[in-house]
């Protein structure tokens, strides 16, 4: 099949071992991102199969209308960026491997790196040293502090293991179902949502982005955090109420934050007020971006392509399309 891969910004994928799984297909890799729908459609006009690099490109009905040869779209994980109904209406099979039992080790490691960086204010200390100064104010030791994990999923549980190794106390908050599962597993769940935010020294959010989780963390939640506390977000920026994190940092509750995600990505505005806040540590959505993680993730995606090619599609989101063929 004619397979197109979008948004491989550093031309990484063709150099990973998993790329061999696409042998026999005609593969085109696009290493630069375009927003213009007409230009994007012109690139993909002959594509029979489209591979998405996470959520970097929205798949809209207007785009699909310009792609007459497209038969399947394949990706891994959640898909708020894909108009599944539009795919179904146009007979395009959408497949996504949700990797139910495999946490993102890369994202978990970055989360804990940001926890450490925030506690010791690493980027601020480095910037001060390079400016000709010496030490800034003392940082925080993690041992004995309380890490609050919002969301009882695979990544959060992985982060909890790291925290416990560092001698931290771990407290949980999640949906009603998530809290139930946490308690069944013998985990400590906060007495209330307000107590969770108010008592934890560090809060890290690990929730999937869905319509009902958008804006779930509010300014009111952040405003009860300690002035000495840190807020960590390596999941999705839209989980936080728009403008709430900047307002909370400006008010000093919490006193620190570290994020890997932004409302608009790629963020290319060096004057962005959140990015420039002195108490924020920021990374450019690199939670999943390691060679090891990408090799594993794309091996799963290439398996979707090959399954479709032999007439046995797997991990179908709109299977009625295939059943109607």
Structure confidence by residue, pLDDT tens digits, 270-304: 999 999 999 999 999 999 999 999 999 999 999 99
How many C-beta neighbours within 10 Å does residue 49 have?
A: 26
Q: What is the mean pLDDT of residues 69-81?
A: 95
Length of the chain: 325
Query: Average pLDDT of 86-106?
Result: 91
- As annotated, the active-site residues are 236, 265, 285
Is 312 a residue whose pLDDT tops 80? Answer: yes
Please give the share of the chain, as a percent, with pLDDT higher than 90. Answer: 94
Q: Specify whether the CB–CB gap between 184 and 194 falls below 8 A.
A: no
Which pLDDT belongs to residue 325? 62
Mean per-residue pLDDT, 259-266: 94
**pTM of this prediction?**
0.92
Buried/exposed 175-210: b ≥16 CB within 10 Å, e otherwise: eeebbebbeeeebebbeeeeebbbbbbbbbbbbebe
132 pLDDT band (50/70/90 cuts)? Answer: very high
Per-residue pLDDT reduced to its tens digit, 104-120:
899 999 999 999 999 99
What average pLDDT score do residues 203-209 get? Answer: 95
End-to-end CA distance of the chain: 18
pLDDT of residue 102: 75
Reply yes or no on whether the pLDDT at 89 is more than 90: yes
What distance in Å separates the CA atoms of residue 54 and residue 31, rounded to the nearest whole number?
Answer: 14
Token pair 């307002």 in the structure block, residue = 247
35-44, 92-101, 152-161, range with the lowest pLDDT = 92-101
Residue 199 CA to residue 226 CA, distance in Å, equals: 7
Answer whether residue 49 shows pLDDT above 80.
yes
Cα 125 from chain centroid?
Answer: 27
d(CA 196, CA 69): 51
Could you tell me the two tokens for 215? 């804006």
Q: Is 124 within 8 Å of 136 (Cβ atoms)?
A: yes
Tokens of 160: 């909890």
Closest CA to 36 of 54, 58, 55: 58
Average pLDDT, the chain: 96
Q: Name the pLDDT band for 100 (thresholds 50, 70, 90).
A: low
């Amino acid at each position: 099949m004619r397979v197109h891969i979008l948004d491989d910004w550093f031309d990484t994928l063709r150099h990973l071992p998993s790329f061999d799984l696409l042998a026999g297909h005609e593969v085109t890799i696009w290493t630069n991102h375009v927003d213009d729908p007409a230009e994007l459609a012109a690139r993909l006009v002959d594509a029979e199969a489209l591979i998405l690099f996470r959520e970097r490109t929205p798949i809209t009905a207007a785009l699909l209308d310009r792609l007459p040869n497209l038969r399947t779209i394949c990706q891994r994980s959640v898909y708020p960026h894909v108009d599944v109904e539009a795919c179904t209406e146009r007979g395009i099979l959408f497949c996504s491997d949700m990797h139910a039992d495999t946490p993102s080790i890369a994202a978990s490691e970055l989360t804990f790196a940001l926890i450490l960086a925030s506690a010791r204010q690493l980027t601020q200390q480095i910037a001060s040293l390079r400016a000709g100064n010496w030490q800034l104010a003392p940082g925080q030791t993690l041992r004995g502090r309380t890490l609050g994990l919002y969301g009882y999923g695979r990544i959060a549980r992985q982060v909890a293991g790291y925290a416990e190794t560092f001698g931290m106390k771990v407290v949980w908050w999640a949906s009603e179902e998530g809290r139930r599962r946490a308690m069944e597993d013998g985990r400590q769940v906060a007495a209330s949502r307000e107590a969770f935010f108010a008592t934890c020294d560090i809060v890290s959010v690990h929730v999937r982005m869905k319509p009902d989780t958008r804006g779930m963390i509010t300014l009111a939640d952040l405003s009860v955090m300690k002035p000495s506390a840190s807020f960590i977000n390596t999941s999705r920026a839209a989980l936080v109420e728009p403008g709430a994190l900047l307002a909370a940092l400006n008010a000093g509750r919490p006193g620190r934050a570290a994020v890997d995600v932004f409302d608009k990505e790629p963020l290319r505005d060096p004057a962005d007020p959140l990015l420039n806040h002195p108490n924020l540590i920021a990374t450019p959505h690199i939670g999943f971006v390691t060679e090891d993680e990408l090799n594993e993730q794309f091996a799963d995606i290439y398996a979707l392509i090959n399954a479709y090619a032999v007439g046995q599609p797997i991990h179908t989101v709109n299977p009625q399309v295939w059943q109607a063929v």
